[in-house]
């Protein structure tokens, strides 16, 4: 997978700019608040249809403008692809090779991208939401059907939660099993695919982590909840669980268990990273997980994704920077930083200097 160019119009602090990217490492450098992350964000947006940091599309539109436009040309083993996005305050239009897509699922998988920034420490240090988000973003890019199952699951879950607040108890008891039969079909797919993913992620991340720490500490990842093998068995187990918790859920007014509540446990040296880990340990663990993700994308899709490393280098010591550079050999990378000499160790790369929402040529 390779992004050849990126065109931004009225995106964040960019009026109009064209970027050319090369194979290997592309460094976006410059002082703070110049537009480095904005550029990285635009690339990820074209990969996934979501921003790694903005909650609303409006934030992406240059202040004072009505719309933003982003376009990238990329090449994958399936050929060339052009992705364009018109972003308006309350809606957007995305086109793949000129054809407007109806749903976000049709964008996914065209350009695979992984975004890593210091805030990804949340993956290790924050609550379960962040870990589920990681699984969802990663799996959605790899599997359209996972993404679709997730959307449908969330929709039914919302309806189920509304039903749980209904006063007519007999109506609730009658209707819940109907919702749950549907809910569990999607839930089982989500659970099964997460299980397969974690089975690949755990050993891969452990290996990356051992390499980054010279084997000093062991990283372990596993899902907190155990499910049976096979989609049918998972669905059955989930239906039983939902059914045995009707009263609890009605009392609470929401669905208190299910894949939307499952967590991924991360241990470093046998201890819960979230509770006992230091910043440095969390950083290294998060990096190991992200590097493992790169390899899993390769395994699943046949080629490396585009890797976006936003401000990551400055947080790592020299030894880890070197190891990271060795790890990303052969992966097209967009790397943002303030000082290039401290991150590249004399490597020749495509350097792009950014200042005030413009490339300095």
Q: Does 37 bind Mg ion (CB under 5 A)?
A: yes
Q: How far is the CB of 180 from ligand ADP (least distance, A)?
A: 43
Which of 16, 20, 33, 272 is in the footprint of ligand ADP by CB under 6 A? 33
Q: How far is the CB of 104 from ligand ADP (least distance, A)?
A: 22
Q: Which of residues 329-348 bind ligand ADP (CB under 6 A)?
A: 336
Q: Which of 278, 291, 255, 334 is nearest to 4 (CA)?
A: 334
Q: Between 287 and 335, name the residue whose CB sits nearer to ligand ADP.
A: 335
Contacting range for ligand ADP; rule: CB under 6 A; set: 35-43, 101-109, 132-140, 300-308: 35-43
Q: How far is the CB of 87 from ligand ADP (least distance, A)?
A: 10
CA distance 244 to 231: 20
CB atoms closer than 10 angstroms to residue 293: 25
Which of left, alpha, beta for 352 (phi over 0: left; psi -120 to 50: alpha)? beta
Q: How far is CA 357 from the centre of its chain?
A: 25
Q: Does 15 bind ligand ADP (CB under 6 A)?
A: no
- CA torsion sign, 99 to 105 to 107 to 109? negative
Q: Does 36 bind ligand ADP (CB under 6 A)?
A: yes
Residue 96, beta-bridge partner list: 83, 99
Which of 8, 43, 46, 61 is in the footprint of ligand ADP by CB under 6 A? 61
Which of 26, 37, 138, 333 is in the footprint of ligand ADP by CB under 6 A? 37
Q: Between 12 and 194, name the residue whose CB sits nearer to ligand ADP.
A: 12
Which of 3, 19, 52, 62 is in the footprint of ligand ADP by CB under 6 A? 62
Residue for token digits 């992200």? 290
Q: Between 37 and 138, name the residue whose CB sits nearer to ligand ADP.
A: 37
Q: Between 63 and 326, name the residue whose CB sits nearer to ligand ADP.
A: 63
DSSP structure string for 118-178: GGGGHHHHS-HHHHHHHHHHHHHHH-HHHHHHHHHHHHHHHHHHHHHT-S-HHHHHHHHHH
> 113-116 and 306-310: which strand pairing?
parallel
Contacting range for ligand ADP; rule: CB under 6 A; set: 60-68, 146-154, 228-236, 266-274: 60-68
Contact between residue 332 and residue 307 where contact means Cβ atoms under 8 Å apart: yes
What would you report as the CA-atom Rg of the chain, rounded to the nearest whole angstrom?
22
Contact between residue 101 and residue 95 where contact means Cβ atoms under 8 Å apart: yes
Task: Give contact residues for Mg ion (rule: CB under 5 A).
Answer: 36-37
Task: Give contact residues for ligand ADP (rule: CB under 6 A).
Answer: 12-13, 30, 32-38, 59, 61-63, 336
């Amino acid at each position: 997978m390779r992004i050849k160019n990126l065109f931004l119009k009225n995106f964040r602090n960019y009026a109009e700019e064209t970027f050319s990217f090369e194979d290997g490492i592309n460094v976006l450098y410059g002082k703070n608040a110049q537009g480095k992350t904005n550029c990285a964000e635009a690339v990820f947006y074209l990969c996934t249809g979501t921003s790694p940091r903005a909650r609303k599309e409006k934030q992406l539109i240059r202040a004072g403008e009505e719309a933003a436009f982003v376009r990238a040309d990329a090449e994958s083993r399936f050929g060339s692809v052009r992705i364009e996005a018109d972003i308006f305050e309350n809606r957007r239009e995305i086109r793949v090779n000129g054809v407007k897509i109806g749903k976000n699922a049709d964008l996914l998988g065209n350009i695979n991208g992984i975004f890593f920034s210091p805030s990804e420490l949340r993956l290790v240090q924050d609550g379960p939401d962040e870990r589920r988000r990681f699984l969802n973003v990663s799996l959605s890019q790899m599997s359209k059907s996972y993404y679709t199952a997730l959307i449908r699951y969330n929709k039914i879950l919302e309806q189920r939660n509304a039903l749980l607040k209904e006063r007519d108890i007999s109506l609730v008891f009658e209707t819940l099993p109907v919702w749950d039969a549907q809910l569990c079909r999607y839930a089982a797919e989500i659970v099964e695919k997460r299980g397969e993913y974690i089975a690949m992620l755990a050993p891969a991340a452990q290996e990356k982590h051992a390499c980054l720490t010279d084997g000093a500490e062991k990283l372990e990842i596993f899902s907190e909840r155990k499910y049976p093998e096979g989609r049918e068995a998972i669905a059955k187990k989930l239906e039983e669980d939902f059914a045995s918790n009707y009263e609890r859920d009605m009392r609470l007014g929401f669905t208190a268990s299910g894949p939307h509540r499952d967590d991924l446990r991360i241990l470093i040296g046998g201890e819960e990273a979230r509770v006992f880990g230091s910043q440095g340990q969390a950083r290294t663990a998060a990096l190991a997980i992200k590097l493992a993700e790169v390899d899993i994308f390769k395994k699943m899709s046949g080629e490396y994704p585009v890797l976006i490393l936003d401000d990551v280098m400055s947080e790592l010591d020299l030894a880890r920077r070197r190891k990271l550079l060795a790890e990303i050999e052969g992966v097209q990378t967009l790397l943002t930083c303030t000082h290039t000499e401290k991150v590249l160790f004399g490597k020749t790369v495509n350097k792009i200097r950014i200042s005030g929402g413009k490339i300095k040529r």
